Amino acid sequence: MPSRIFLDANAGLPAREEVLAAYVRTEREAPANPASTHRSGRRAQAVLEDARARVAARLRCDAPQIVFTSGATEADNLGLVGAARALRRMHGAAPALFASAAEHPAALAPLRLLQLEGCPLTLVDIDRHARVDADALVAGMRGARAAVVALQWANNETGAIQPLAAVLAEATPDRVVHVDAVQGIGKLPWDAALEQASGLAVSGHKIGAPKGVGVLRLRDDVALDAVLAGGGQQKGRRGGTESPALAVAFATALDLAMDEQQDAARHTAACTDAFLGTLRAAGLSFKENHPPEATERLPNTCNLAFPGVDGRALMPACDLSGLDVASGAACSSGAALPSAVLRACGLNDELAQASLRASFSPNTTVQEAHEAARRLATLLRRLYEVANR
Ligand code: PLP
- Give the separation between CA 317 and CA 338, rounded to whole angstroms: 16
Work out the angle at residue 356's Cα, subtended by the Cα atoms of residues 206 and 359, and round it to the nearest 5 degrees: 30
368 lines ligand 1 (CB under 6 A): no
75 lines ligand 1 (CB under 6 A): no
- Known catalytic residues are 331
- Please give the distance of CA 74 from its chain centroid, rounded to a whole number: 12
Q: What local confidence, expressed as pLDDT, does residue 234 receive?
A: 96
Q: Can you list the positions of beta strands (E) in the chain?
A: 5-6, 66-69, 96-100, 121-124, 147-152, 175-180, 199-203, 214-218, 287-288, 301-305, 323-324, 355-359
284 Cα: distance to centroid of ligand 1 (angstroms):
32
Domain range list for the chain:
5-13+260-387, 17-259
Q: What local confidence, expressed as pLDDT, does residue 239 receive?
A: 95
Q: What local confidence, expressed as pLDDT, does residue 336 receive?
A: 67
- Give the separation between CA 305 and CA 348, rounded to whole angstroms: 11
Q: What local confidence, expressed as pLDDT, does residue 333 receive?
A: 47
Residue among 292, 336, 376 at smallest CA distance from 5: 376
Residue among 208, 245, 253, 213 at smallest CA distance from 28: 245
Pick the CATH number of 17-259 from 3.60.15.10, 3.40.640.10, 3.10.150.10, 1.20.1270.10: 3.40.640.10
Residue among 361, 343, 363 at smallest CA distance from 353: 343
Q: What is the mean pLDDT of each run of 10 residues along the chain (389 residues)?
A: 94 98 98 98 98 98 98 98 98 98 98 98 98 97 97 98 98 98 98 98 98 98 95 94 98 98 98 97 94 97 96 94 83 68 97 97 98 97 82
Residue among 235, 216, 237, 217 at smallest CA distance from 226: 237
180 lines ligand 1 (CB under 6 A): yes
349 Cα: distance to centroid of ligand 1 (angstroms):
24
What CATH number is given for 5-13+260-387 in this structure?
3.90.1150.10
